[in-house]
Structure 1
Amino acid sequence: MSDGTPGPRPGSEESEPTVRLPSAVATGTAAGAGTAEPGHGATRRIPQQGEPGAVRARRFWSSRRVPAAVTAAAILALGGLFLYDVASVRAGRKAMYWRKKLADELATRHLDDTWIILGASVSAALGLWLLVLALTPGERSVLPMARRGPDAVRAGLDRHAAELVLRDRAMEVSGVRWARAVVKRRRIKLRATSHFRDIDDVRRDLTEAAERAVRQLGLARQPRLTVRLQRAEKGT
């Protein structure tokens, strides 16, 4: 489980608190989504996004500390160096060689020069990267979980934890020898191999177990599940 320390998107009205939940919640019916398994007690189903009564769960926003710190440090160092050189010239000293050289190069080189094009491309790519960091939520490793109401605590599930849950549920199916799950925001891919039983029966049981496990994760948006099962090679 992951907490919501990055906070909501800047400028949004969401300011409810976040809390770190135990990872065991994702493996049982305490996640609150889907129907209960026999013998595990009843659970109340949480409406998913787009359904009546559902509360929209927004993605968690990253604090972007490292890019912000690096950018601020670079701008501060470059600006301070230029300011020092300008002040030094105003005080009657000679300008630094690199600044005079830079000014001469910018004044004499044509716009179709290779170094001018390369520098402009790097600057544009850096600016685009900073814009993407500023306008996207980030925290792709945290999946928002469904909420019971507007005042409910915001919770997120770590992708790796979800993958472990799905893998363990798949390994519980009779006939499954190996399994691996890849969880993304909109899609879940589950791959497995079978070493005994009829492969169609194993595929049916594996699909049912995986769908049940996905519902019990309690995610705000149910990803599309893809199950791929093949017979294990002999001798492996």
Structure 2
Amino acid sequence: MSGDGDARQGARRMPAPGEQPGAGGGLTGSAGVARPSPGGAHPDTGPAGGGHAGRFWSSRRVPSALVALVLLAAAGLLLLDVAAVRAHRPAAAWRRGLADELATRHLDDPWMQAGAAAAVLLGIWLIVLAVTPGLRAVLPMRRTAPGVRAGLDRPAAALVLRDRALEVAGVQSVRMTVGRRRAYARAVAHFRELGAVRRDLDTALGDGLRQLGLAHRPALTVYVRRPRKG
């Protein structure tokens, strides 16, 4: 399967803003040290209104389900015990023990402090999940139609760029890493001058990044080196 086909498989259709969402070049010397080029740091603007696509938000189904199950279980146990007390039955041993512990233990008790710390950490974790987008593996694409959002998986983008890099003469192997802000290409050239290979990689990968249609084009950094001897 070609790299373009893999990219299409990695692209996702995302809902419109009113719906609930799901979220350059580099220079290198002969020693393989990269220097970012000023041409790759500017985001694509695309069509009118198409260059301002924000990140996709995760629905956080697993944390939400876990919190809901814990709260449901706790509320069910408490309601069952309250109903038993109202029916003139003794309270459950766990509730009597919990009430005694809360009434007799001081705030400087290690168990009380450990429980409070655990509650604080759990609360901070839930707040972070609530206010952060998530879905870091999905890169927003430019909007070309109203009411439609699309995203491209980072591994799919890296696969397309890797295939482009392998088409450059002199490239023996290449490892691509695509992040939200920067894309790295680490290539091994077994013939041709490193400067010439680097220039061709810079051109090919720069064109590839533009053709991906991302809302914010990552800056590109290219590393080129010779194969290791041995």
State the TM bucket, normalised to the shorter chain: 0.7 to 0.9
Counterpart residue type for residue 18 of structure 2? E
- Which residue, out of 52, 61, 68, partners 2:64? 68
SS at 2:12 equivalent: coil
The match for 2:18 is 14
How far apart are the structure 1 equivalents of 2:225 and 2:125?
41
Cα separation, partners in 2 of 1:78 and 1:152, compared to 1, 3 Å:
closer
SS at 1:3 equivalent: strand
- Which residue, out of 100, 109, 113, partners 2:109? 113
How far apart are the structure 1 equivalents of 2:164 and 2:12?
25
Alignment check: 8 A CA contact 2:44 2:210 kept = no
- Give percent identity, aligned residues only: 55
Instruction: Note the aligned Cα RMSD (angstroms).
Output: 2.4
SS at 1:81 equivalent: helix
Counterpart residue type for residue 125 of structure 2? W
Q: Give the deviation of 1:52 after TM superposition.
A: 8.9
Q: Give the deviation of 1:124 after TM superposition.
A: 1.6
Cα separation, partners in 2 of 1:80 and 1:16, compared to 1, 3 Å:
closer
Q: Which moved more, 1:74-83 or 1:118-127?
A: 118-127
Specify which structure has the higher proportion of strand.
2
SS at 2:90 equivalent: coil
* Cα deviation 1:87-140 (Å, max 9, x = unaligned): 212222222222211111122222222221221122122222222222222221
Alignment check: 8 A CA contact 1:16 1:154 kept = no
How far apart are the structure 2 equivalents of 1:119 and 1:83?
23
How far apart are the structure 2 equivalents of 1:2 and 1:110?
56
Q: Which moved more, 1:222-231 or 1:130-139?
A: 130-139
The match for 1:31 is none
The match for 2:159 is 164
The count of aligned residue pairs is 200
How far apart are the structure 2 equivalents of 1:127 and 1:4?
33
SS at 2:223 equivalent: strand
Please give the residue correspondences for 1:126-137 in structure 2 after superposition, counting only pairs within 5 Å.
126-137=122-133
User: Relative contact order (C-alpha < 8 Å, sep 6+): which is higher?
Assistant: 2
The match for 2:187 is 192
Counterpart residue type for residue 70 of structure 1? L
Cα separation, partners in 2 of 1:212 and 1:52, compared to 1, 3 Å:
closer
Alignment check: 8 A CA contact 1:17 1:153 kept = no
How far apart are the structure 1 equivalents of 2:183 and 2:44?
17
Counterpart residue type for residue 209 of structure 1? A
Please give the residue correspondences for 1:172-187 in structure 2 after superposition, counting only pairs within 5 Å.
172-187=167-182
Q: Kindly report structure 1 stretches of 4+ aligned residues shifted beyond 4 Å.
A: 15-18
- Which residue, out of 198, 201, 207, partners 2:202? 207
The match for 1:154 is 149
Alignment check: 8 A CA contact 1:48 1:54 kept = no
- Which residue, out of 116, 119, 125, partners 2:121? 125
Alignment check: 8 A CA contact 2:54 2:140 kept = yes
The match for 2:77 is 81
TM-score scaled to structure 1, two decimals?
Answer: 0.76
